[in-house]
A = this chain, B = another copy of it.
Amino acid sequence: MKNSKTIFFLALTFLFQLGVAQEQQGSKEDQFEPSPVNQPGREYPMVNAKGQVRAQIIAPEAKKVQLDIGGVKYDMVKDDKGVWTGESAPQDEGFHYYQLNIDGASVPDPGSLFFFGANRWGSGIDVPARDQEIYELKNVPHGAVEKILFPSESTNTSRTAYVYTPPGYHKNPKKRYPVLYLQHGYGENETSWPNQGKANLIMDNLLSDGKAEPFIIVMTYGMTNEIEFGGLRDFDIKPFQTVLVDELIPYIDDNFRTKANKENRAMAGLSMGAFETKLITLNKPEVFSSYALFSGGTYNPEELKGRTKPDLIFISTGSKERPDAVKTAVSELKKASFNAVSYVSEGTAHEFQTWRRSLYQLAPLLFKTQK
């Protein structure tokens, strides 16, 4: 009897402790922390491990203030000091654009850093992700991101590009590198990959782990925002193709220590940038050897007939997009003897977490045999 009582008591204690542990875990998940992409020293906006966003703003005279994220507007509540606070439903892991709405005015949240997306510079938030260490700033050798202005005759102006050079680029004045041309999506621009995409930190971390060959990444404006959304059918790739292939690539090859040949040149893009990547790689088979589409279309063997097979075709998407279409396309390409790879980002949609992960997966596959 004594034993069974003891066992019962121990079991009870165990169950109680389990309950406490779960409750603590619960409360840890609920606990809000400042978003990692806040303005310096700002406590709000905050995020928790569930992916909820909590925003706060002082607006003593306002009648209605809302947090506008993921296509939903969440009412915020005013305290007696005129401070409005509100929370969203859980968001997917990773980066999201958002804004505040104050008595009908849609404005950036002054607490967050600003990012170019949705055709504007506006607020962004970074929800904790289980794999966030892939793009964290770590104590490893860092490459640099250079803003260049390159001459463009076809558009009669100086155009901007960002150039990632890997750690050691400046120290080894004789080493030459392959180049990845990496495009943003509709409503974004050349700052989107280095800012919210964290392309440089992803590369620094991969290189520090010895998981990828060092290469240069060039990111320029894809001229995608000059079309109306939905006007894709009439999209003419020629103006951007001219800028990229006839103006930017020669400038990069002239000013950076590149391996200036097809074998050492890849193109990738997300969404509208994937659409551009597909069109340009198909139009210009002599320029790029590896092609990557993130959340934007696929290749089929028919389109690639009668030409040298690319070294790599990489097609990715979020699990909340259309993963089956990507898997099927890659399976068809493999059947036709293409070196094709698919990647599905678990639990993410048409947003930057899908694309950060896609770059992380793509990079180790590029330029494997440096020629």
Contacts and interface: CB of A to CB of B under 8 A. Distances in A.
Given A121-B39, A139-B158, A170-B255, A105 B146 contact: no
A61 B62 CA distance: 9
Interface string A91-109: 0000000001011111110
Interface stretch (A52-60, A232-240, A297-305, A306-314): A52-60
A64 interface: yes
Nearest to A142: B149
Given A61-B64, A108-B108, A139 B114 contact: no
A70 interface: no
B104 A103 contact: no
Given A62-B103, A103-B62, A158 B173 contact: no
A232 to B, nearest CB: 19
Nearest to A156: B139
Contact of A255 (B100, B171, B256): B171
B62 A104 contact: yes
A63 interface: yes
Interface string A180-195: 0000000001000010
Nearest to A150: B142
A113 interface: yes
A21 interface: no
A105 B158 contact: no
B40 A225 contact: yes
A82 interface: yes
Contacts of A58: 104-106
A103 B63 contact: yes
Nearest to A171: B255
Contact of A102 (B103, B119, B122): B103
Interface residues of A, number: 51
A86 interface: no
A39 to B, nearest CB: 6
A144 B137 contact: no
Contact of A146 (B121, B144, B150, B173): B144
A120 interface: yes
Interface in A229-261: 254-256
B63 A61 contact: yes
Contacts of A173: 173
Given A103-B63, A145-B146, A170-B255, A139 B151 contact: yes
Contacts of A119: 40-41
A151 B170 CA distance: 15
Among all A-B residue pairs, the 7 with the closest Cβ atoms: A59-B105, A142-B149, A61-B103, A146-B146, A62-B103, A60-B104, A61-B104
Interface of A: 39-41, 57-65, 82, 100, 102-108, 110, 113-114, 119-122, 137, 139, 142, 144-151, 157-158, 163, 170-171, 173, 189, 194, 225, 254-256
30 contacts: A39-B120, A40-B119, A40-B189, A57-B105, A59-B104, A59-B105, A61-B63, A61-B64, A62-B102, A62-B103, A62-B104, A62-B105, A63-B103, A82-B104, A102-B103, A102-B105, A102-B107, A106-B110, A107-B108, A107-B110, A108-B108, A108-B110, A113-B121, A137-B149, A137-B158, A144-B146, A144-B147, A147-B147, A147-B194, A170-B256
Given A114-B121, A139-B158, A147-B194, 6 more contacts: A57-B105, A65-B105, A105-B107, A139-B151, A146-B147, A147-B147
